[in-house]
Chains A and B, each alone.
Chain A
Amino acid sequence: MTVEPFTLPIARPGPTMFERFAPGAWRVFIGLVIVAVLMIFIAPVAILIVTSIRPASGIYYIWRGTEFTLQNYVEVLQQPQILHAMFNSFVMATLATVVSLGVTVGSGYMLSRFTGRIQKTWFATIYVFRTVPYISFVLPLYLVTTNLRIYDTYLGLLLPHIAVHVCFFSWLMKGFFDSINPSMEHAALIDGCTRWGAFRRVALPSAMPGIAALSILSWLWTWNEFLFALILTGQRTPMITSTMAQFVTETGTEWNLMSATAVLAMLPALLVTIFGQKYVIRGLRM
């Protein structure tokens, strides 16, 4: 069978709408979009920061006037409750990160390297429990922690935090180990390492970049967490988020002090965004 050769109509889509409209208009448009994107993501943060350095009298029209002051920060930091809350959040974030990573690294490794009934069940379990809305187990946890007399203590908040991290982190850890070629460990086994040695000396160091990224995110997530803090802590062990929320929802008028508190609570996030962005991006891409 032969087909007569034919000439193809040459596709020549005309200039785009923008090029026809005005040459270079497309680039201007993209430029405007970029500026708009920057504005959208910076503006709320900037407004908050500006508010926090305006005197109480100057917060209502923050774009007018040029008085700036650090008085708000001084005032906030003089309130023992806020310092206490920040300290608590810091301790909690650090503890939760260390313990959750420690607990999940093994389970992630197992999910990645072995197959069998236990692994299948475990994987299904963590998938299912990842879908459970937090409120559905935090509400009863209130009862559990009260009964165990650990309500409003570090332990009472730490354990639930770890419990939610277990599902998600095991999943992520599995991903880290999946991306490491197991033949390295096999080589280590042949070279005389025990299974445990192969894990500790070969697999773990290779997974370290991912684990580092995850630890930073985990720290931030715990620091930022609100629902648990709201339900499981009270006056004794306040967290920074719940303390702030109280400010906003209950008193809700001293915006200069509130902004200063919020900026303080935001500091770790700002630091990580600026200095640890590599880790944030790596952590989120998993």
Chain B
Amino acid sequence: MLLLVAPAALVLVCFQIIPIFIGMNASFRDWSLVNPAKTWIGLKHYRDVLSDPVFLYTVLPNTFMLMVSSVVLSLASGLGLALLLNKPFFGRPVVRTVILLPLTVAPVITATMIRWSFNDQFGVITNLLSVLGFPEIGWLSDKWPSFSLIILTDVWIWAPWFTIIILAALQGLPREPFEAAQIDASGKWRTFTHITLPMLKPVIIVCVLIRSIDAFRTFDQVWILTGGGPARETEVFSVYAYVEAFVHLDYGKGAAAAGLGALIMLVVGIGLYKLVNRLMEVSR
């Protein structure tokens, strides 16, 4: 029986668990890529990261802001889309197919598309907006527009995921409670809030958990869209660690940041897991 997990466990240990320890080891040393003296310097890197204003006041807030806004917005739009697709209408198969695009196209390409569509001079959407009379926005040159673009891209990618899962759940719901609600004179909105949502709650909670964990490590979209700029203002945690290690060539500091991220995620992950279990209890 051990044989069944052995290969999986072996790969996991060698290429995920051991590297994490190597990374921790590196984070305690002056392990610069250009100057591999590798002197033991204790917690210095951690102190550096934790006293780095970029990390504290830009990266951390950005990361959590991206996590929360992306999850909330994709959940809301994904849920709306699922409700729409739950009713038959002309062209529904087309919509169902089209919403798979974001899930199959590489985030790198998606980010490229968005970046091109919002190009300051030649972007189709930029031009469309100015034709419609909106004031000009430096989409990729100011912090908040760039950050909204990152969020938008994330929502574009992940809303369909919520849609597909919630749609499957919707179609699996028993019909009778809705009929009983109809007889009980429950209006459309009240049925949604009092019957549909509570029945979807378990699915939604699990989706939010998975998405939140994944949203924390967002890298591709941010890297392609803004590269963390302008002036490191849209950096999120993964980008920060990468930039410290490979752009500033301070490997130890990057590893320390990555380690801190893992630690935060462990706490957040366990917390969310506990929360989910609690919510599931209540919602049963």
Closest partner residue, chain A, to B269 (CB atom): A131
Q: Does A237 contact B (CB under 8 A)?
A: no
Question: Are A166 and B102 neighbours in the complex by a CB distance under 8 Å?
Answer: no
Q: Does B23 contact A (CB under 8 A)?
A: yes
Question: Are B100 and A163 neighbours in the complex by a CB distance under 8 Å?
Answer: no
Question: Are A163 and B15 neighbours in the complex by a CB distance under 8 Å?
Answer: yes
**Number of cross-chain contacts by CB at 8 Å:** 265
- Chain B interface SS verdict (over half): helix
Say whether, besides A137-B19, A258-B112, A284-B103, A43 and B8 are in contact (CB < 8 Å): no
Q: Provide the bound-state CA to CA distance between A62 and B127, in Å.
A: 11
How far is the CB of A108 from the nearest CB of chain B, in Å? 9
How far is the CB of B45 from the nearest CB of chain A, in Å? 12
Q: Provide the bound-state CA to CA distance between A40 and B77, in Å.
A: 12
User: A231 to chain B: which residues have CB within 8 Å?
Assistant: 242, 246
Which of B107, B109, B188, B219 is within 8 Å of A262, CB to CB? B109
Say whether, besides A48-B112, A48-B113, A163-B12, A248 and B224 are in contact (CB < 8 Å): yes
How far is the CB of A107 from the nearest CB of chain B, in Å? 4
Question: Are A38 and B14 neighbours in the complex by a CB distance under 8 Å?
Answer: no
Question: Are A280 and B122 neighbours in the complex by a CB distance under 8 Å?
Answer: no
Stretch of B48-56, B68-76, B173-181, B260-268 that contacts chain A? B260-268
Question: Are B237 and A133 neighbours in the complex by a CB distance under 8 Å?
Answer: yes
Question: Are A103 and B11 neighbours in the complex by a CB distance under 8 Å?
Answer: yes
How far is the CB of B21 from the nearest CB of chain A, in Å? 8
Interface centre among A13, A44, A160, A226 (most CB of B within 10 A): A44
Question: Are B113 and A269 neighbours in the complex by a CB distance under 8 Å?
Answer: no
How far is the CB of B63 from the nearest CB of chain A, in Å? 10
Instruction: Encode contact with B along A90-129: 1 for CB under 8 Å, 0 otherwise.
Output: 0000000000001110110110001000100010011111
Question: Are B5 and A266 neighbours in the complex by a CB distance under 8 Å?
Answer: no
Q: Does A56 contact B (CB under 8 A)?
A: no
Q: Does A218 contact B (CB under 8 A)?
A: no
Q: Does B193 contact A (CB under 8 A)?
A: no
Closest partner residue, chain A, to B261 (CB atom): A133
Q: Does B9 contact A (CB under 8 A)?
A: yes
Say whether, besides A44-B114, A103-B7, A244-B112, A133 and B258 are in contact (CB < 8 Å): yes
Question: Are A141 and B19 neighbours in the complex by a CB distance under 8 Å?
Answer: yes
Q: Provide the bound-state CA to CA distance between A181 and B8, in Å.
A: 25
User: A266 to chain B: which residues have CB within 8 Å?
Assistant: 105-106, 109
Chain A interface residue count, Cβ-Cβ cutoff 8 angstroms: 90
The B-contacting residues of A in range 207-264, CB under 8 angstroms, are 220, 223-227, 230-231, 241, 244-245, 248-249, 255, 258-259, 262
Question: Are B117 and A43 neighbours in the complex by a CB distance under 8 Å?
Answer: yes
Q: Does A51 contact B (CB under 8 A)?
A: yes
Q: Does B165 contact A (CB under 8 A)?
A: yes
Q: Does B66 contact A (CB under 8 A)?
A: no
Q: Does B17 contact A (CB under 8 A)?
A: yes
Question: Are A41 and B259 neighbours in the complex by a CB distance under 8 Å?
Answer: no
Q: Does A132 contact B (CB under 8 A)?
A: yes
Interface centre among B7, B17, B26 (most CB of A within 10 A): B7
Question: Are B12 and A129 neighbours in the complex by a CB distance under 8 Å?
Answer: yes
A sample of 14 inter-chain contacts (CB < 8 A) reads A37-B84, A41-B101, A48-B109, A51-B116, A107-B9, A110-B5, A118-B2, A126-B12, A140-B22, A224-B107, A231-B242, A245-B108, A255-B122, A273-B104
